[in-house]
């Protein structure tokens, strides 16, 4: 079939649906940038079906009356309204769902083609969206498309008298409803409120006389203070006391002033800048301590059955210079531990998306900060590539892109959850790329495929990546099932009698590769390109970075999505 994906953004869910469906159908993509543009694309593409995985605007009536249009709604059957997941988390729902319904005049009220439910874990909205919601959405989409293609299925009308129709019409969740009263709200309420607004729209609040949107929230198990007071900092986050505990706030976004420039998320201490009082203490936590506490940390380290697990988690998957350096320190400490197998990656969500464009955009000298950031990423990748006394496994529970994808390729083994989408390219940001990709990527997929992956700039699903040799293992199931399978297989490798021979062969391969061409040569050549991208006049990177960070929409669907 010919299926046209219509989306407000080519986001993680749209990319995953695109990767799944293009294995079976002819797929087109059109961003929802205007009714006339959509009408023109529909007329050219002549789809059998229009599918909207993520849409914040209505489809024109003449389009949904002329073509079957399926809407993916992030709620159970009967749920309606623009703040579905926000309400689910705010009200503490334990079960939720995704429903594929046909577009009609009344929003979210059309005939139902498929619906899949899931358990709701305690996490932020964006993390929920990229994991449980995405899994359920893909399952529902594949079912709905199969039913439509069969021509025999009759969709179910929305009927609130049915016991399995559990949703209801909900209003837009406003900032007035989201407001936190720090003098009375307990930690559980504060966390639900913050998580329901992560990563958009954030919770509007006041700190030190200025208004900010708070993005994300994590529990703190020990620190206490006057409710509402900022009582500590850690690695760019601030800790704020509640009536019965405290929460960590990793990111803030200054409220945009009328007529002022667009604002964007930054590490909380960066956003506060000089407004943050000097007397607030930095309270560090080691990766090993964080692993056994209920506190916020970007890094956790634990060991079990001869395997070391270095877990890292960054908002949006981006890694600034400081984060790269902290991760490198933790990696070196892990390498000093008496384990032969080391697993890298977060428990859930993004593996990495490379350098931190928001921090770079906010820097006094964005070019210089870009340079520091890429070199810090390279130092980390180099450390992994030159580790010859341990077997290193990159465990991707979530997506990876650009330098983050190349970070994974530095490991000996790359294992992916089946839901993972990879974007192993840089050119959409006007960059040549670094992180030793010119060494690792051709080694895995060959020069020709490496060229295609880095120039075609389309997402690659986990199964397709395995077929190319980009990843070594694809594991089905939930994030919990993925972690369990990784643990079992890593422990099996640690106990294997042939492990020492594997490590010896690894050391010999690295020495042989170094003799042919030193890693320093790859780095120097890549960085020569990147230096030009960062500093030369006329380069597109500064403009593309600014547009990405500030959310500037393109005037039309980009050519790379048109096929």
- 50 lies in the same domain as 136: yes
- 8 lies in the same domain as 97: yes
**Residue 204, SS3 per DSSP:** strand
For the domain that residue 83 is a member of, what is the CATH number? 3.40.50.170
For the domain that residue 233 is a member of, what is the CATH number? 3.10.25.10
Please answer whether residues 47 and 145 qualify as being in contact, where contact means their C-beta atoms are separated by less than 8 angstroms.
no
* Domain around 59: 2-150
Query: Running DSSP on this structure, what letter comes out for residue 59?
Result: P
User: Would residue 560 count as lying in a domain?
Assistant: no
Please answer whether residues 318 and 354 qualify as being in contact, where contact means their C-beta atoms are separated by less than 8 angstroms.
yes
User: Would residue 172 count as lying in a domain?
Assistant: no
Please answer whether residues 509 and 346 qualify as being in contact, where contact means their C-beta atoms are separated by less than 8 angstroms.
no
Residue 41 φ then ψ, to 5°? -65, -40
- 213 lies in the same domain as 336: no
- 531 lies in the same domain as 416: yes
Rounded distance between C-alpha atoms, residue 256 and residue 363, angstroms? 18
- 445 lies in the same domain as 351: yes
User: Would residue 210 count as lying in a domain?
Assistant: yes
Structure confidence at residue 167 (pLDDT): 96
Lookup result for tokens 């329901």: 196
Beta-sheet pairing, 460-461 with 421-423:
antiparallel
- 201 lies in the same domain as 343: no
Q: Chain centroid to CA 70: how far?
A: 25
- 113 lies in the same domain as 16: yes
User: Would residue 236 count as lying in a domain?
Assistant: yes
User: Would residue 519 count as lying in a domain?
Assistant: yes
For the domain that residue 526 is a member of, what is the CATH number? 3.90.226.10
Q: Of 303, 326, 302, 304, whose CA–CA distance to 314 is shortest? A: 326
User: Would residue 162 count as lying in a domain?
Assistant: no
Domain finish residue from 275, 306, 328: 275
Structure confidence at residue 483 (pLDDT): 97
Rounded distance between C-alpha atoms, residue 453 and residue 482, angstroms? 26
Total structural domains within the chain: 3
Alpha helices in 337-472 (DSSP H): 357-362, 366-385, 402-409, 437-445, 447-456, 462-468
Structure confidence at residue 563 (pLDDT): 66
The strand pairing partners of 27, in sequence order, are: 3
435-401-492 Cα angle (round to 5): 80
Per-residue pLDDT reduced to its tens digit, 539-552: 999 999 999 999 99
Those residues whose C-beta lies under 8 Å from the C-beta of residue 118, and which sit 6 or more positions away, are: 95, 96, 97, 98, 132, 133, 135, 136
Per-residue pLDDT reduced to its tens digit, 29-72: 999 999 999 999 999 999 999 999 999 999 999 999 999 999 99
- 182 lies in the same domain as 124: no
Tokens of 74: 């992030």
- 312 lies in the same domain as 360: yes
User: Would residue 508 count as lying in a domain?
Assistant: yes
Tokens of 144: 């709905």
User: Would residue 46 count as lying in a domain?
Assistant: yes
- Which positions of the chain have pLDDT values less than 50? none
Please answer whether residues 214 and 205 qualify as being in contact, where contact means their C-beta atoms are separated by less than 8 angstroms.
yes
- 374 lies in the same domain as 513: yes
Quick one: which H or E segment has residue 302?
strand 299-304
- 266 lies in the same domain as 360: no
Structure confidence at residue 373 (pLDDT): 98
Lookup result for tokens 């209920």: 294
Structure confidence at residue 53 (pLDDT): 98
First to last CA, the chain: 16
- 44 lies in the same domain as 142: yes
**Residue 215, SS3 per DSSP:** strand
């Amino acid at each position: 079939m010919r299926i046209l994906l219509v989306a407000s953004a080519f986001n993680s869910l749209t990319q995953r649906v695109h990767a799944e469906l293009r294995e079976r159908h002819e797929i087109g993509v059109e961003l929802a940038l205007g009714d006339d543009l959509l009408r023109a694309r529909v007329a050219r593409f002549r789809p059998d079906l229009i599918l909207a995985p993520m849409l914040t605007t209505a489809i024109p009536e003449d389009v949904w009356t002329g073509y079957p249009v399926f809407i993916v709604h992030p709620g159970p059957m009967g749920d309606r309204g623009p703040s579905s997941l926000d309400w689910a988390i705010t009200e503490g729902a334990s079960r939720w769902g995704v429903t594929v319904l046909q577009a009609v005049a009344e929003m979210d009220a059309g005939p139902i083609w498929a619906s899949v439910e899931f358990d709701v874990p305690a996490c932020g909205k964006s993390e929920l969206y990229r994991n449980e919601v995405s899994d359920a959405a893909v399952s529902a989409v594949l079912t709905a498309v199969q039913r439509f293609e069969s021509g025999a299925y009759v969709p179910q009308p929305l009927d609130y008298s049915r016991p399995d129709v559990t949703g209801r019409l909900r209003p837009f969740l406003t900032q007035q409803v989201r407001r936190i009263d720090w003098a009375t709200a307990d930690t559980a309420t504060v966390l639900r409120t913050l998580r329901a607004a992560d990563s958009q729209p954030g919770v509007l609040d006041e700190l030190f006389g200025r208004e900010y949107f708070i993005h994300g929230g994590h529990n703190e198990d020990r620190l206490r203070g006057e409710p509402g007071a900022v009582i500590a900092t850690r690695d760019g986050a601030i800790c704020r006391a509640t009536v019965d505990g405290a929460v960590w706030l990793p990111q803030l976004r200054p409220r945009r002033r009328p007529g002022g420039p667009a604002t964007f998320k930054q590490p909380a201490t960066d956003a506060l800048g000089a407004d943050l009082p000097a007397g607030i203490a930095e309270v560090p936590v080691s990766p090993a301590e964080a692993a056994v506490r209920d506190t916020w940390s970007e890094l956790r380290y634990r060991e079990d059955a001869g395997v070391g697990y270095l877990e890292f988690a960054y908002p949006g998957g981006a890694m600034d210079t400081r984060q790269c350096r902290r991760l490198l320190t933790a990696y070196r400490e892990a390498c000093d531990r008496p384990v032969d197998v080391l697993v890298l990656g977060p428990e859930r969500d993004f593996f990495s998306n490379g350098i931190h464009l928001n921090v770079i955009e906010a820097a006094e000298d964005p070019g210089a900060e870009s340079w520091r950031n890429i070199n810090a990423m390279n130092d980390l990748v180099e450390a992994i590539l030159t580790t010859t006394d341990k077997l290193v496994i990159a465990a991707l529970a979530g997506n990876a892109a650009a330098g983050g994808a190349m970070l994974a390729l530095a490991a000996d083994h790359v294992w992916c959850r089946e839901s993972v989408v990879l974007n192993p390219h840089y050119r959409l940001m006007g960059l040549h790329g670094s992180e030793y990709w010119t060494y690792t990527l051709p080694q895995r997929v060959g020069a020709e495929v490496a060229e295609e992956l880095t120039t075609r700039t389309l997402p690659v699903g986990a199964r397709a990546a395995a077929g190319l040799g980009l990843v070594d293992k694809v594991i089905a199931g939930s994030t919990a099932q993925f972690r369990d399978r990784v643990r079992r297989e890593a422990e099996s490798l640690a106990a294997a009698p042939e492990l020492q021979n594997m490590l010896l062969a690894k050391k010999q391969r690295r020495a042989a590769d170094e003799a042919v061409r030193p890693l320093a040569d790859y780095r120097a050549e890549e960085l020569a390109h990147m230096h030009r991208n960062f500093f030369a006049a006329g380069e597109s990177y500064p403009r593309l970075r600014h547009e990405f960070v500030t959310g500037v929409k393109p005037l039309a669907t980009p050519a790379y999505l048109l096929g």
